[in-house]
């Protein structure tokens, strides 16, 4: 086969592949890694945050998260749905309407993620400064 996209490869953004296995002694590492991957997926985090205050429709989310492509939003939502973090409700109206809403699990995830976000906001200046310093030192 050439290079066409295999259907099986339509896996979701943050789904780990055959697992790099960080430390065999801690089986938990893989579970942790898969969750961290999802958080590290920029779009997943934004979607979760956007759903904080209730269910949203597909295009509503797309408009709120400026810069996300339709494809990425679809994939992100499928990944979140797969992990049981959001629910997908179809209203068979015309035109069709689909609502996405956080599950209890998803709402629980919000808390540690928010803590991380607050840390990020609080220290982004320090980090930016460190980067500038590092880059300056490494460019002369």
Partner DNA sequence: CTGCATCCCTTTCGATACTG
Partner DNA sequence: CAGTATCGAAAGGGATGCAG
> Interface with DNA by CB under 7 A: which residues?
3-5, 7, 9-11, 13-14, 17, 20, 41-43, 57-60, 62, 67-72, 74-75, 77-78, 88, 90, 95-98
- Residue 32 binding target from a copy of itself, DNA, none, CB below 5 to 8 Å by type: a copy of itself
Nearer to a copy of itself, 42 or 58 (CB): 42
β-strands 56-57, 97-102: how paired? antiparallel
Calpha distance 44→73 (Å, rounded): 9
Estimate to the nearest angstrom the gap between the alpha carbon of 104 and the chain centroid: 17
Q: Which CB sits closer to a copy of itself, 10 or 93?
A: 10
In the complex, minimum distance from the CB of residue 134 to DNA, in angstroms, rounded to a whole number? 12
Which of 14, 123, 140, 128 is CA-nearest to residue 77? 14
Q: Which of 77, 49, 79 is nearest to 64 (CA)?
A: 49
E-strand ranges in the chain read 56-57, 86-91, 97-102
| Of residues 6 and 122, the one with the C-beta less far from DNA | 6
Choose among a copy of itself, DNA, none what residue 131 binds, the Cβ cut-off being 5 to 8 Å by kind: a copy of itself
């Amino acid at each position: 086969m050439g290079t066409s996209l295999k259907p099986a490869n339509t896996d979701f953004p943050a789904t780990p592949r055959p697992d790099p296995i960080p430390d065999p002694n801690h089986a938990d590492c893989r579970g942790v890694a898969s969750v961290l991957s999802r958080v590290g997926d920029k779009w997943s985090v934004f979607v979760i945050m956007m759903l904080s205050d209730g269910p949203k429709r597909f295009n509503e989310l797309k408009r709120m998260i400026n810069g996300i492509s339709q494809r990425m939003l679809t994939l992100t939502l499928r990944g979140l749905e797969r992990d049981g973090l959001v629910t997908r409700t179809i209203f068979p109206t015309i035109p069709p309407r689909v609502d996405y809403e956080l599950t209890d699990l998803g709402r629980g995830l919000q808390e540690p993620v928010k803590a991380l976000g607050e840390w990020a906001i609080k220290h982004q200046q320090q980090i930016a400064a460190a980067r500038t310093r590092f880059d300056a030192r490494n460019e002369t």
